[in-house]
Every structure is written in structure tokens, then in C-alpha cells.
A = this chain, B = another copy of it.
Amino acid sequence: MRIAVDVMGGDHGCQVVVEGVKLALAANDRITSMVLVGQRPVVEAALAAAQCDDPRVELVHASEVLTMEDKPVAAIRRKKDCSLVRSIDLIRDGRVDAVVSPGNTGGLVAASALRLRTLPGVDRCGIATVIPAPENLFVLLDSGANIDCRPLHLLQYAIMGHVYSREILGTSSPRVGILSVGTEEIKGNELTLEAYKLCKKVDINFIGNVEGHDLFNNRVDVVVCDGFVGNIVLKTCESLARGMLLWLKSELKANLKRKIGALLAQNAFRTIVRRMDPDSYGGAPLLGLNGNVMKAHGSARERAIMNALTFTAETIRHDINRHITEEIAAAQERLAGDLTKEGAAAFA
């Protein structure tokens, strides 16, 4: 399998990404070609510094960089030769099977949507983030691609999340829920109330609405919401988890007795820190596109890049997009006979 990496857009610069690539190449012999996209002299210097001379590495020059400050849509039109756009074009042209980018999220979503287009029957791509809970992993989508959603988009996210959880996380019959303010069908806002009606008609294990309370209690495997809510929930969870761990750390240093206690119990903390670490998952796929696109954390370091690449290889291996296309088509068929306005309009 062939993967392109936008090595320029991350917060920590090209070197860190190239080091992550080196680790991934060492760990994955399924990867036959790794195309690094960026400013040639910068990437060559990084490869030299990393002492990476793996013959599977290829370099594609792109003269510009999309920064975190760039306004997505305007910038991808203006910076036509940026590494992010060039990477996407490699998938479009069939030269690679997937792309990984730690760059500007909005830019990645916009460039992917414009240049790859969505899969048949899918209106908008969505970012699927895997979140660790004490007893399970759940997928949150959309976690930020699509701020103003329609009910149909949530239905498509439900189906795509179902496929992703089943194929990549190995959950048999994933429990799919709509994130809302009460479990009853009548609780929610206009968007979720309509989406509920659609979701219960298709062939997934739809468990209805879930609340914030349900997320970390092993009650749901796929949490469906619009990108506004999803982005806030994702960042709030990251912030709270990090805040609590830092707080615990400082409390454990308050006196000698606590320090000794912390030393004895340190493996307990390590287990939790490791499992909560966003780097373990490394990236979040943009689902619903004609091509595999993986968003790595902007702040991704070596290990996170390596994990994002490993995850990407899994996504390619499982041929996620074929499964999504099939399940969306099956849902279309089920809804075709449906008489509700939204159902009829859904896949017109």
C-alpha cells in the first residue's frame, strides 16, 4: 500500500513528521511506498537528519505551506502548490491509497471535499475520532468537519460510524446513538429529532439518543452529532482529562508522604495516562470521501504520526470506503419506499 504524507503543516515542523514516518516504515512492512510531500530542500534535510534512507520513501515537491492561520477555502484556492493540496491530488490521481496530514483541519476538509468529492450517497464528509473510555472505545463523529448539519448528514454519519467501529475497532454490532439532551425520542433539538426518525429506519444497531452521561459508561460505541457539538465535546474531554491528570500530579507532589505513595502506585497512573493519550490513536479519518484521508493531530509528535500511519494502513486494508458505499446503498434502498418528507428527499 502507498501512503502520502503532508510533512509540512504540523505544529512541530517537518522533522518530527519525518521521524514518525521512519518509525512507521520500520513497524509496517505492508507499506510499499511512502510519498513525502513538501518543500524539497526542507524534506531532504529532515530525511538526512533522521538518517532515513528507506528505499520506499519518495519525495514530491510542493512549494507552499498551508498554515494553521490560513482561512481554509480561500487559502486552498490561493496556495495551489501547497503540500496539503498536492497530497490530496496524489489520491485523486490514483498515485497513492491514502493521505495523512497533521495540517489545518479546515483546509484538509475543504481540499478533500473539493478535489476528491464524497462517496455515492454521502453528502458531507465527517471526522471520526476514537475516544478511550474506561471500558471501551467509542467513535465520535462528526468531530468538526461539518458545523451546520442537516438530519440526513447525521444519518450518514451513523452509518459511516457503524462501519468504522465494526471494521477498524472490531466491535460486533456497534451501538449507535445520537448525542442529545435526553434519551426519549421526543428530547432534542430540531436536527436530532429528525435524525432520530431516519436512523431508526436503517439496518444498524441504533440505540436512540444518548446523553453526555452515557459516553464514559460503556453504553455506546458510535456517538453521532453535528461538527459543532462534536468539536466542543472532543476538546472539552481532552481539556478535562489533561486538567485532572495535571491536577493529580501536582497534588501528589504536595508532600513527601504523597510522593512516596505516588511512586508505589505509579503503574496505576501510567496505565491511565497511556490509555487516555490521544497519541495512541494518532489520527482521525475523514469518512465519506472518494479516498482515504487521515487527519493527524496538529500537535502530533513522532509516535502520534507513526500511529496515525498504522491506523491508515488498517483503513486501507479493510477497504472502508467499499463497506461504506455498500451500507449507504442498502440504507437508500430501505428509505426509498419511505413516505416521510425527509426520507423521500434523503437520497433523491
Contacts and interface: CB of A to CB of B under 8 A. Distances in A.
Contacts of A232: 179-181, 211-212, 225, 229, 233
Contact of A264 (B211, B238, B261, B268): B261
B181 A144 contact: yes
A114 interface: no
Given A212-B234, A243-B216, A254 B268 contact: yes
A237 to B, nearest CB: 6
B264 A258 contact: yes
Contact of A212 (B236, B265, B268): B236
A242 B181 CA distance: 19
B244 A241 contact: yes
Interface string A236-254: 1111111110111001101
B262 A265 contact: yes
Contact of A272 (B190, B234, B248, B262): B248
A216 B239 contact: yes
B229 A213 contact: no
Interface string A135-174: 0000000001001100000000000000000000000000
A215 B244 contact: no
Nearest to A69: B184
B241 A268 contact: no
Q: Secondary structure of the A side of the interface? A: helix
A81 to B, nearest CB: 25
A204 B244 CA distance: 30
Given A213-B238, A235-B211, A228 B261 contact: no
A134 B246 contact: yes
Contacts of A134: 243-244, 246-247
A51 interface: no
A260 B238 CA distance: 30
Interface residues of A, number: 59
Contacts of A190: 148
B258 A235 contact: no
A278 interface: no
Given A241-B244, A265-B252, A233 B236 contact: yes
A213 B240 contact: no
Interface string A197-223: 000000000000001111111000000
B271 A260 contact: no
Nearest to A242: B216
A339 interface: no
A181 B142 CA distance: 13
25 contacts: A133-B243, A134-B246, A134-B247, A147-B188, A181-B227, A181-B228, A181-B232, A211-B235, A212-B236, A213-B236, A213-B239, A214-B239, A215-B236, A216-B239, A216-B240, A216-B243, A217-B239, A229-B232, A232-B233, A233-B233, A248-B269, A252-B265, A261-B261, A261-B264, A261-B266
